[in-house]
Structure 1
Amino acid sequence: MLTRRLALALPALIPGVAQAAFPDRVVTIVNGFAAGGSSDIAARIAAPRISQALGQTVVVENRPGAGGTLALNYIKRLPADGHTVVIADPSSLVIAPLVNPNVAINPAADFTPLSIWGTTPMVLVVAPDHPAQDVAGLLAWLRANAGRASYASSGIGSTPQLATELFLQKVPGGMPAVTHVTYRGGSQMLEAVMKQETGFGFSVLSSAAGHLRGGTLRALAVSGPSRAASLPNVPTMAEAGFPDFDLITWYMLLGPPGMSAEIQQIWSRAMAETLTDAPTAARLTESGLDPARPSPPSAAADYLKAEVARYGAIVQAAGDRLRG
Structure 2
Amino acid sequence: MENIPRTLRIKEMLTWSDFCGVPPSVVTIVGMAKNVGKTVTLNYIQRVLYHQGLILGLTSIGRDGESFDALTNISKPSIVVQPQAIVATAEKVVANPNLWDYLQKTDIVTPLGNVVILRAKAVSKVVLAGPSKNQEVKRLLQYLSGFGTNCILIDGAFDRQSSADPLVSNQVVLASGATLSRDLEQLIYITKSRVEQLMLPKCDDFYLTLCKQSKSKVVLVGNSGLREIVADTSLLSTTEWAKLLCDDCSVVLIKGAVGDGLAHALLEKRHTPAVIVQDGSKIFITPFLWRQLKVRNVKFQVVQPISLLGVTINPSYPGGNGFDPDVLLQGMGKALAPLPIIDVVREVKF
Tell me whether the two structures share a fold, i.e. TM-score over 0.5: no
- Report the TM-score when normalising by structure 2: 0.27
Relative to its length, the structure with more strand (as a share) is: 2
Relative to its length, the structure with more helix (as a share) is: 1
- Report the TM-score when normalising by structure 1: 0.28
Q: Greater RCO between the two (CA within 8 Å, min separation 6)?
A: 1
